[in-house]
Structure 1
Amino acid sequence: MKFKFAHNNFNVKDLQKSLRFYEEALDLKPVRTKEAPDGSFTLAFLSDGTTPHQLELTWLRDWEKATYDLGDNEFHLAFTVDDMEAAHSRHKEMGCICFENEAMGIYFIQDPDGYWIEIVPA
């Protein structure tokens, strides 16, 4: 028996806004979507075009709270990048950097729903 990572899921309030963010910030593109027949949810699976791992964004029509409760937000995704300086510049311009650890040479960006994504040098 062999298990392999398939995807991680983030629930989002505004699917189109999130899709724009992930494409602009991380060059992720949707590779497939699934919509409930009754319109109650939409799933969008994003890919970096390189690895088999995907990010699933889930939009729920009937979610009534203003935001998702992310707790202490200690969970996160991490991305490596081959040009840390260019990535940092892009994310600084976007205004989405939420934490930097210069001693470790890493930083985090925050998506529209408050999820943190770690950026580390390749």
Structure 2
Amino acid sequence: MNFKFCHNNFNVLNLEKSLEFYEKALGLKEVRRKEAEDGSFILVYLGDGESDYTLELTWLRDWDRPYNLGDNEFHLALRVDDFDKAHKLHKDMGCICFENEAMGIYFIADPDNYWIEILPQNM
């Protein structure tokens, strides 16, 4: 029996704002979408154009408050081929929420405050 990663899910309060963030900050693009017939939810899957792995953004029509992320000790991680250019982009966007210069990594926060770790290619 073999298991293979396929996606992670983040629930989002404002789907359009999140889609814009993920495309601008990480270059992730929509690869598929599922909408409930009654309009109660929308699932949008974002891909990096290279792997089969996706990030599922879930929007719930009746959710009216920010998601409780607890201590936010979980995160998604992405490698980037031009770390310095990515850092500048994220700094200009104002979304860097934590840097660990000793490890050579940093984290950005999306519009719902999910943390995303940015790693250099060689790490």
1:19 Cα deviation from its structure 2 partner: 0.2
Task: Determine the structure 2 residue equivalent to 1:47.
Answer: 47
Task: Determine the structure 1 residue equivalent to 2:71.
Answer: 72
Question: Cα deviation per residue 1:50-84 (whole Å; 9 max; x = unaligned)?
Answer: 011100000000113x2000011011000001111
1:121 Cα deviation from its structure 2 partner: 0.5
Number of corresponding residues? 121
Distance 1:52 1:121 in 2: 21
SS in 1 for 2:103: coil
2:112 equivalent to 1:113 = yes
1:30 Cα deviation from its structure 2 partner: 0.2
Residues 12-91 of structure 1: pairs in structure 2 closer than 5 A:
12-64=12-64, 66-91=65-90
- In structure 2, list runs of 5 or more residues that go unmatched: none
Distance 1:74 1:53 in 2: 22
- Code of the aligned partner of 1:55: L
* TM-score w.r.t. length of structure 2: 0.97
Distance 2:8 2:91 in 1: 25
Aligned structure 1 segments of 4 or more residues deviating by more than 2 angstroms: none
- Code of the aligned partner of 1:13: L
- Code of the aligned partner of 2:26: L
SS in 2 for 1:92: helix
**RMSD, matched Cα:** 0.5
- Code of the aligned partner of 2:15: L
- Code of the aligned partner of 1:26: L
Distance 1:96 1:63 in 2: 24
Distance 1:58 1:73 in 2: 18
1:39 Cα deviation from its structure 2 partner: 0.1
Structure 1 vs Structure 2: percent identity of aligned residues?
70
Task: Determine the structure 2 residue equivalent to 1:97.
Answer: 96
* TM-score w.r.t. length of structure 1: 0.98
